[in-house]
């Protein structure tokens, strides 16, 4: 009996260790310097350039965007979850822009890994995405996330004195699971407003 209990206990411990290892292996490993410095292809309109606080140029780096905090959505236009999340992200953008405490300080943008400018433009039009989207056809994002680059992924980053990005938190998966993560950038009340508005759309 004692041997059986010991064997069961050992099995539980091994299973727990295996799950922990899988969880660590599945967590995205980010290089903040590479993330902030990577050049992004941008073909947005003047309103989106003003939103980001950038000049009229074709490429820019994330660490040059004028914001205290960035919510970066890594997606692919052919990803079904990414498509389903579009309405929630649109609502998040609206809620942020409607809140004077957040507007201009917290900004939302998307990076379409492996997609072309034309594919991103079509996605933006189809899902009526109001915030800037960047095409990354050459998978430049892999330099910032060398392991476990998957979509969708949410990255919360803080702009440190306008010189570099500090990654606060990351999440891989759909928007229905990011309440705690968004708490790093938005209050719980704001997150509730995002989901409430998304439900009305």
Torsion, Cα 103 39 125 193, to 10 degrees, reads: -30
Looking at 31-139, list the stretches that DSSP marks H as alpha helix, in order from N- to C-terminal side: 32-37, 46-52, 80-98, 117-126
Q: Which long-range contacts (CB under 8 A, 24 or more apart) does 56-62 make?
A: 61/36, 61/37, 62/35, 62/36, 62/37, 62/38, 62/157, 62/165
Buried b (16+ CB within 10 A) or exposed e, 122-144: ebbeebebebbbbbbeeebbeeb
**pLDDT one digit per residue (tens) for the chain, 201 residues:** 433 333 323 232 232 322 232 233 345 556 666 777 777 877 777 888 888 887 766 677 888 888 888 999 999 999 999 999 999 899 889 988 988 888 999 999 999 999 999 999 999 999 999 999 999 998 888 777 766 678 999 888 888 765 678 888 888 888 765 555 566 566 555 556 665 655 555
User: What class has domain 31-200?
Assistant: alpha beta
Residue 29's CB is within 10 A of a number of other CB atoms, namely 13
pLDDT value, residue 137: 92
Structural domain spans, the chain: 1-28, 31-200
């Amino acid at each position: 009996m004692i041997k059986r209990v010991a064997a069961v206990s050992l099995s539980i411990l091994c299973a727990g260790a295996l799950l922990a290892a899988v969880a660590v292996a599945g967590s995205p490993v980010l290089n903040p310097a590479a993330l902030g410095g990577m050049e992004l292809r941008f073909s947005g309109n003047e309103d989106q350039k003003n939103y980001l606080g950038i000049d009229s140029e074709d490429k820019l780096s994330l660490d040059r965007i004028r914001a205290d905090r960035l919510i970066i959505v890594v997606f692919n236009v052919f990803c079904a979850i990414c498509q389903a999340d579009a309405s929630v992200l649109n609502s998040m953008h609206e809620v942020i822009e409607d809140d004077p405490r957040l507007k201009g300080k917290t900004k939302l943008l998307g990076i379409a890994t492996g997609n072309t400018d034309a594919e991103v433009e079509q996605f933006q039009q189809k899902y009526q995405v109001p915030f800037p989207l960047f095409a990354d056809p050459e998978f430049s994002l892999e330099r910032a996330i060398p392991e476990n680059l998957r979509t969708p992924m949410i990255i919360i980053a803080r702009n440190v004195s306008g010189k570099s990005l500090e990654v606060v938190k990351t999440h891989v998966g759909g928007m229905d699971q990011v309440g705690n993560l968004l708490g790093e950038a938005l209050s719980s009340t704001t997150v509730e407003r995002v989901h409430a508005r998304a439900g009305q759309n």
